[in-house]
Homo-oligomer: A and B are copies of this chain.
Amino acid sequence: MKDEIRIAGIDDASFDFSSKEVLVVCAVMRGRNILEGVLSTHVTKDGMDATDRIAEMVNNSKHREQIRVMMLDGITFAGFNIVDIDELYIKTEIPIIAITRKIPDLKSIKNALKNLDEAKKRWEIVKKTGALYEHRVSKGKNPIRFQMRGMSMKIAQDVIEKTIYRASVPEPIRIAHLIATGISRGESTGRV
């Protein structure tokens, strides 16, 4: 795999109790260093539209044909607006890596979903997202955990290796996070 493949990192912005629509940012990177474009959309807080909005954002972009992999910061956006990575892969035909910083506590997710409409459908999406893989990055202390669609384990690991720099998450996710929080809060947060 070339070092300079295009990868789209996708993360959501901060929001508060009064928010209805939440900003979602996509950083289109060439390799791990060069930011080539920025896309944005909005998804409903605790809604069911994240999959469609993200697919539209990417499919409508002039960068669409260059993007080889989408990297999501987890599968839950804007509260519990859960991305169905099967659907997203079908709609975009772009392989997906969803990075997960901690091992999801499925029991507490299931409990939280009970307070929302379409709880059963949301839970089905969470369950079918499937196996959580771990990759121990050659220069990192902590393993990167991820779920994926549309590529082999070997390619997913290669993409993660090539996009990790000094932080504990791949650069496309780090950059999307900085932009999303910098715009929504006035200053980016250093979580990643």
Q: Which chain A residues in 1-31 approach chain B with CB under 8 Å? A: 23, 25
User: Interface on chain A toward B: helix, strand, loop, or mixed SS?
Assistant: mixed
**Alpha-carbon gap, A25 to B39, bound state (A):** 15
Q: In the complex, what residues of B have CB within 8 A of residue A179's CB?
A: 38, 179, 182-183
Known: A62-B187, A187-B62. A182 touches B37 (CB 8 A): yes
**A147: Cβ under 8 A from any B Cβ:** no
Q: How far is the CB of A165 from chain B (nearest CB, A)?
A: 8
Q: In the complex, what residues of B have CB within 8 A of residue A38's CB?
A: 178-179, 181-183, 187-188
Known: A35-B35, A175-B35. A41 touches B186 (CB 8 A): yes
Q: In the complex, what residues of B have CB within 8 A of residue A57's CB?
A: 186
